Amino acid sequence: MARTEQTDGGANSGAATPMMAQYHVLKAQVPDCLLFYRMGDFFELFFDDAKAAAATLDIALTARGTHDGQPVAMCGVPVHAAEGYLARLIKAGHRVAIAEQTESPAEAKKRGGSKSLVARGIVRVVTAGTLTEESLLDAKAANWLVALAEANGELGMAAADISTGRFEIGCVPRSQRDAELARLSAAEIVVPDTLEDAPDGAYPCPRARFDAAAGEARMKSLFGVATLDGYGAFSRAELAAAAGLLAYLDNAGQGTLPFLQPPERRQAAGHMLIDAATRESLELTQASDGGRRGSLLDSVDRTVTGAGARLLRADIAAPLTDRTAIEARLDLVGLFEADSSLRDAVRRALKAQPDIGRALGRIAAGRGSPRDAGQLRDGLAEARNLHDRLGQIDHPPTLLASLLPRLAGHGALVDQLSRALVPMPLVDADKGGYIAEGYDAALDTLRASGGDGRRAIAALEARYRTETGIATLRIRHNGVLGYHVEVAARHADPLMKADSGFTHRQTLAGVVRFNAADLHDHAIKVAQAGAHALAAEAAHLEELTQAVLDRRHAIAATADALARLDVATGLAERAAEGGWCRPTLVDHNCFEIVGGRHPVVEQAVARAGGRFVANDCSLSEDSRLWLVTGPNMGGKSTFLRQNAAIAVLAQSGSPVPATSATLGLVDRLFSRVGASDNLARGRSTFMVEMVETAAILAQATQRSFVILDEVGRGTSTYDGLAIAWAVVEAIHNRNRCRCLFATHYHELTRLAERLDALTLHHVRAREWKGELVLLHELVRGPADRSYGLAVAKLAGLPAPVVTRARAVLAKLEAGRNATGGLAAGLDDLPLFAAAAAAEPKVDPLHAALAATDADTLSPRDALELVYRLKLLLENGAD
């Protein structure tokens, strides 16, 4: 491939060339980006950019000339494969500026002579939040760019997914900022360079870009309105955030702003508030390893389109608190759950749907292709078919009735695209061939002329073979020479003669290439016809693009409607598949679950050939706080998490994994489950636990739902017990929320004697012939013990260690029952006794016996033990 163009004279000679001077000018415009500098068929990188890119991409680092006496580092990637390299660079945290050739070498030569440098300009800045390319995006996840700004003591947030045009604006309390960023799973965050306590990884921009008045004016211009009142009463902080976001997008597109739908003003009160720690511990949309597999979303998702998967993720990430809106979603799911044939038909139709939302986003951003236009044609046509099918339903649910008008109304556009495009247009518009025959008579004539010219060239090839007697003579074409005659080197001599009619062009290993006057004439005709045909097709594509953009908001509404249908039919499929029920929503603070299951764990158990044990949960005003005890691995954490998951699913508008469910709406969901640290912020595991617990106690209301697991276990026994005791009292007396509290501190069960709304429950287990049997069943009352030693043995702890622990436990329990307290009696154990002399006496015989677990000895082990004991005795052991 060509890495330099002909008019870049002296480009290989080093940093003093005009080309390198041009490079430095462009690089100065984007000092924080890696610069992809277009040279022919390659994007080249130089200096430190080349070193960083080569290390990230694992490609060769070379040198090009010198600069200040040092070799200029250089690497490059082919233009045709650039998207794959971009994806890796963006994932690694880099920003990339694209410098394209803004004229052809021929135009540069015509402008300034043979040594004239091809003009270049930065056409785009590629960042994590400004991607639209299909290959760079996750089809099942939105790609949010978020801007934050402060004004009048408020924190404004603006968020856009430019791949589909979604646009949100709202005010966020500082305490909920991280929760909102976690909800969006923001790909990129931009902030004013003056913002204090900016989120980790945020990109600082000049404060001047976050001007509220400029933001208001820009949005009015963008959406063609005289006032923004129809979208909401935006505060100065919200307008400032919107200004920063739009300015950032404008800079990334170098003046080309992507498609944005009118802003949706987000009200925090309309959604269940879920902080980042709770999302992580419940693994709502991603598992602990950062992937999708193993998350609640993955276990629920039965969507068949990327747009549906993205919408389902958004629903689960932000459950509703408006009962009417939730019921509307449940009604739509119920329609498809009740009619399996209708559900199957709609799902088949949706499965064939292209992602028209993202196709529209690429077209609006100026990065669309003929294939994107073809996807809109096919998708909008299928949307009309769905409209006709679903429009026959008598008394449709409210939500379906609102979706139906959005599925139709594109008839003229579909007809135009159908007539204009071939059935399967290619991605590359430069190759042509995407405008259908019969759409433009003049274009058909140009194509015919080009076809005639190619047939004439084929006839010319046959004539040349006859005249020269060279049977292997070929007429070939490439991008440098155009059409030319090619023969094997051994046949070249006759064609080299001055009177042969052929002109030598190029000699390669094994072949020689020639031109001829009549071939040149035919080639010119073919090239001219082809160039004119490409220009005609490009003009038609521009017309089709404008026709699409004229209906961009209606198309986006259709894409959203199709996504909602996909979510509804997918949830109906999941409910039918798993025997899930429709939740009943009530206004009082109850949480009544019969036969509840955890969908992720249930799937894992089923794959292993087991059966998940369902459990009930009944939280009401007189029993709103459950204290759950029982052994590790018995299912306490699963029980806590499954009920939190049921609350999330129910308020997302989904059926739930239970026999029945009656729920009072939850305003905030909190989870303090598991152990983790944050060493980067200097926080130990216990500090993280206390920070999260403090947040719960400060923010939980009577309408909240809280799950707490092993509070206080990260510190000493007495400190931990005291903290857990006080936390239970605070939740019961002050927060008064619905709460499931799992613990191994059996002392906490005494609180049931004086906390009226606290009830005791435990997960059942039993020991049978020395083995622990976990029943995973929750029943009323406290556990009789923790079965810790049995679990340790089940986990594979060495038998001598388990035996020793059993002896220590017996002493501890004896001491706890005496006046000496928890640690009384430990002095009687050799391990803890003070030494009577400087060198304590060791009894090998007794030590060997103490370390032996008779229940685990095989016959051979027992015989060897006898011999070892006898040897110890013979050596003088007492």
- Annotation: binding site for ATP: 630-637
188-192 sheet: strands from edge to edge: 203-205, 188-192, 145-151, 154-161, 166-171, 264-265
d(CA 761, CA 750): 13
649, 655 Cβ separation under 8 angstroms: yes
Sign of CA dihedral 624, 625, 631, 637: positive
| 283 vs 671: CA distance, rounded Å | 11
Calpha distance 618→623 (Å, rounded): 8
Residue type, 39: M
Is 60 exposed, middle or buried, given 0-12, 13-18 or 19+ CB atoms closer than 10 A? exposed
Of 508, 435, 441, nearest in space to 476 by CA = 508
For the record, the structure tokens of 139 come out as 């089809």
CA distance 469 to 408: 65
Two tokens, residue 340:
């399996």
Q: Which backbone phi and psi does 741 adopt, to 5 degrees?
A: -120, 110
Token pair for residue 639?
Answer: 């029980």
> b vs e for 287-315, b when ≥16 Cβ sit within 10 Å of the residue's Cβ?
beeeebebbbbbbbbbbbbbbbbbbbbbb
CA distance linking residue 374 with residue 429, whole number of Å: 12
68 by Cβ neighbours in 10 Å (0-12 / 13-18 / 19+) ranks as exposed
Enumerate the H helices of 339-369 as residue ranges.
340-351, 356-364
- Nearest-angstrom CA–CA distance, 558 and 632: 50
Q: Which residues are annotated as a binding site?
A: 630-637
Phi, then psi, of 392 in degrees rounded to 5: -85, -5
Q: Which two tokens stand for residue 781?
A: 């009352």
Residues 6 or more apart whose Cβ sits within 8 Å of residue 666: 272, 319, 321, 647, 651, 703, 704, 705, 738
CA distances to 277, 507, 721, 742 from 726, in Å: 22, 90, 9, 14
How far, in Å, CA of 123 to CA of 255, rounded?
9
User: Which DSSP string do the residues of 1-40 spell out, in sequence order?
Assistant: ---S-TTSTTGGG-TTSHHHHHHHHHHHH-TTSEEEEEET
